[in-house]
Amino acid sequence: MINFEEELNPRQLEAVKTTEGPVLILAGAGSGKTRALTYRTAYLIEELGVRPYNILALTFTNKAAGEMRERIMDMCGADSRDITVSTFHSLCLRILFTNADRLGYDKSFEIADQTDQKSLIKDVCKRLKIDTKVYKEKSFLNVISGAKDELKTPIDFAKENAGDYYMQTYADVYTEYQKTLKANNQMDFDDLIMNVVRLFREYPEVLDHYSEKFRYIMVDEYQDTNSAQFVLVSLLAGKYRNLCVVGDDDQSIYAFRGADIRNILDFEKIYKDACVIRLEQNYRSTGNILDVANQVIANNRGRKAKELWTEAEKGKKIRFRQLDSAAGEAAFIADDIRSKAESGGYSYSDFAILIRTNVQSKEFEDAFRVRGIAYDLVKGLRFWDTKVIKDVTAYLVTVELGINDMRTARIINIPKRGIGAASVEKLRSFAEEQGITLLEACMEPGKAGVSGKGAKAVKDFYTTIEGLRESTLGMSLEEKLTRILKTVDYMTYLSDEAETTEKYLEQEEYIQKLKDSLREYEEEAEEPSLIDFLRINGIEGTTVDVDTDPGNEDKVLIMTMHNAKGLEFPGVYMAGMEEGLFPGYISINSGDEKDIEEERRLCYVGITRAKRELTLTCARVRMVNGETRYATASRFVKEMPFGLLDMNTTPEKTERPVYFSDGTKEYPGRKRPVAPVGPRTVPKRSQGFASYKKGKDMVAQKPDYNEGDRVRHFKFGEGQVLAIKDGGKDYEVTVDFDEHGVKKMFAGFAKLKKI
């Protein structure tokens, strides 16, 4: 029997017992929100007699959904088996699985992954004769994804951009892209929610069915929802209005993925009778860490007032250290971690280094490698995104179904058979003209214009697939995969392609894991099918889960602050706490305070990952894009109460004077005149300077190019100048690079060449 009063604090108990109508639970970092959600579910079942079948809990990752499901099962036992705990996309997939035909799809539709999408866009651009030097293929996918997040159909998008020639091209590509997806009986990841919203709006009886089923709805991490997810939840909860959303606006850090913080900030405007409950007692961090976090986030205007507190001790002060260079910063942190680990008070796995961008990782990798310290760099490449898994699943799909042209095209020359890109294009064109699949076109390559050795290779490929189809009838999916690998000699291909033995063994292990996964799936599924298996495993992962369990291996983790969300560590190092890096130059120069506030929220997330010790570091000088740049402490450090910092220098004193030829010197953030001293050079320091410039005249000189000109950068390649702004000591230049997108930089550093 669960004793809710004894096991929960007063605010958590209020959140658990407030079950009817709209509820907003503002759950601060480390305040036990998952505990509140699971107990709330148990309360609905145990105390109110709600059928588990009528409860829906939504979150963003499979990992989070799995953990919540396990907790609920532990508390409620078999009674909770019928609860739906799911990601948004998995829920929509289930709904579409039984209703896709209403929207004109076959129920065996597939999900187009990123590789499929890129291939589709490339084909669309060819058909529409679009110059991909002017319009980048990746930009089309980004624009289309953004439109779907806002529930804009191709027609909506075209109307919105009528009269804009440039954007009309995007509208044309979006239209053709959707037609091609439909012709392939595919949806991309963004289509799942968009199509369910369409289904609910066009078929009220379907909406009513699911509204009746899900009478109590809970949404975790609500601050991360986008417009489409907001509408989906609003529709589902419209009938009974028992909607409980849990989140923290101070941890909204995914605007770049389409998350809309207004969903949580405006909840009470949309649901005027909403009950708002604040969970502010923190069970993770020491008092000093929380005081620093509270002080920093209080500088954001777009937030709901809340302040974390704890019954724990105040703990150590937060250390702030400025080092001479990025390499020196990494060396300091590596030595500090080793010292603590060797003292016996900590294990290496107790520590995490949080960085703003992956570019910062190199110095840490070098420092740990030299010292022989084990570490993991968390980057988040999914198992399902690796080339080897994409290859073998494409074979499985082609042998099983043969109706997906992109999957067939992927493997038609893997292993190499002598089938060139020109032959594949001829086969594609012929298939499109005849209204048949690419695999069917391989039956008679001569009719498609493929001749000679190429025609024989194509025919052999078709014969191989057909032979596999016949010989694997009745086999399990694992057995089919084993037969396919042997028949096409895929392991020899891997061995030939692998650069090292280790790489080959790694890929071999991937395949073995896939086999294990297939076997486990077939043992558990009532009606196993390859499409269902791929749906379950292949479409999730918009938010990267950290698969490394720090408790299992004694390794230091290095990760971006975005990847650290949801985790906690006894000791945290936040590296690169410098203006221009965190917050970054783009946010600083955007002119939109919302960009800085998003960065500040990310800083808040980083701070609140620490349980016992927090160290902040910055470097006096850092190499950026091949140039030496002097750095000052991040504004976020300056927002912290200095009385809580253990410093080797105050943040203000990290500001390094830059001398100008007119005899004045400028301090970042303030100016004051001094006696004329003539031209000066910034002196070389004892360590950390890869290079420095002698006798450089610091007076800003106007670039020899203008807005609209084409320029070349030594690293980013060619691009077009969008804007040139006089920044006093240097001109700030905004360039839209062909391969790297829009970047802002100082002309003196950038050394752009007009072309």
| pLDDT tier at 561, thresholds 50, 70, 90 | very high
Amino acid symbol at 232: L
CA-CA distance, 129 to 121, in Å (whole number)? 12
Alpha helices by DSSP H, listed for 360-420, are 361-371, 387-400, 405-411
Report the sign of the C-alpha dihedral through residues 347, 348, 352, 353, in that order: positive
361, HSE (Cβ side, Cα atoms, 13 Å): 16
Whether pLDDT at 103 is above 80: yes
Span between the terminal Cα atoms of the chain, in Å: 76
| pLDDT tier at 589, thresholds 50, 70, 90 | confident
Between strands 710-713 and 670-672, the pairing is unpaired
3-state helix, strand, coil in the chain (%, to 5): 50, 15, 35
CB count in 10 Å sphere of residue 93: 23
pTM attached to this predicted model: 0.68
By three-state DSSP, how is residue 503 classified? helix
| pLDDT tier at 732, thresholds 50, 70, 90 | confident
Q: What is the pLDDT of residue 526?
A: 77
Q: Buried (b) or exposed (e) across 105-133, using 16+ Cβ within 10 A? A: beeebbbbbeebbbbbbebbbeeeebeee
Q: What pairs with residue 630 in β-bridges?
A: 621
Q: What is the pLDDT of residues 68-100, one digit of tens each?
A: 888 888 888 877 889 999 999 999 999 999 999
Q: What pairs with residue 376 in β-bridges?
A: 557
The Cα angle at residue 97 between residues 254 and 120, in degrees rounded to 5: 60
**Catalytic residue numbers?**
33-34, 220-221, 251, 609
Q: Quick one: DSSP state of residue 82? A: T
Tokens at residue 555, please?
Answer: 């390794």
Quick one: CA torsion of 588, 593, 594, 595, rounded to 10 degrees? Answer: 0
Q: What is the pLDDT of residue 411?
A: 93
CA-CA distance, 269 to 126, in Å (whole number)? 47
Q: What is the pLDDT of residues 113-140, one digit of tens each?
A: 888 899 999 999 999 999 877 787 888 9
By three-state DSSP, how is residue 112 classified? strand
CA-CA distance, 514 to 388, in Å (whole number)? 10
CB count in 10 Å sphere of residue 725: 12
Q: Which of 704, 689, 685 is nearest to 748 (CA)?
A: 704
Average pLDDT of every residue of the chain: 85
Whether pLDDT at 465 is above 90: yes
Please give the sequence-ordered ranges of beta strands (E in DSSP) within 328-370, or none if there are none. 351-355
> Is 546 in contact with 563 (CB distance < 8 Å)?
yes
Q: What is the pLDDT of residues 663-696, one digit of tens each?
A: 333 333 333 333 333 332 333 322 222 232 333 3
The Cα angle at residue 539 between residues 352 and 508, in degrees rounded to 5: 70
Residue whose token pair is 């979006």: 174
Q: Of 8-17, 450-459, 630-639, 677-686, give the lowest mean pLDDT range.
A: 677-686
Q: What is the pLDDT of residues 405-449, one digit of tens each?
A: 888 999 999 999 999 889 999 998 998 888 889 999 999 899 999
Altogether, the residues listed in the chain come to a count of: 755
Q: What is the pLDDT of residues 179-231, one digit of tens each?
A: 999 999 999 999 999 999 999 999 999 999 999 999 999 999 999 999 999 99
Q: Buried (b) or exposed (e) across 493-529, using 16+ Cβ within 10 A? A: ebeeebeeeeebeebeebbeebbebbeebeeeeeeee
Q: Which of 256, 197, 200 is nearest to 224 (CA)?
A: 256
Q: What is the DSSP string of 63-111?
A: HHHHHHHHHHHHHHGGGGTT-EEEEHHHHHHHHHHHHGGGGT--TT-EE
Left if phi > 0, otherwise alpha if psi is -120 to 50, otherwise beta: which for 150? Answer: alpha
Q: Which of 357, 336, 363, 318 is nearest to 619 (CA)?
A: 363
CA-CA distance, 287 to 315, in Å (whole number)? 6
The share of the chain scoring above pLDDT 90, in percent, equals: 57
CA-CA distance, 740 to 678, in Å (whole number)? 40
Q: What is the pLDDT of residue 272?
A: 94
By three-state DSSP, how is residue 218 classified? strand
Whether pLDDT at 585 is above 90: no
The Cα angle at residue 50 between residues 45 and 51, in degrees rounded to 5: 95
Q: What pairs with residue 275 in β-bridges?
A: 23
As a three-state string, the secondary structure of 468-490 is HHHHCCCCCHHHHHHHHHHHCCH
CA-CA distance, 633 to 320, in Å (whole number)? 10
Q: Which of 652, 678, 653, 654 is nearest to 664 (CA)?
A: 678
Tokens at residue 124, please?
Answer: 């669309």
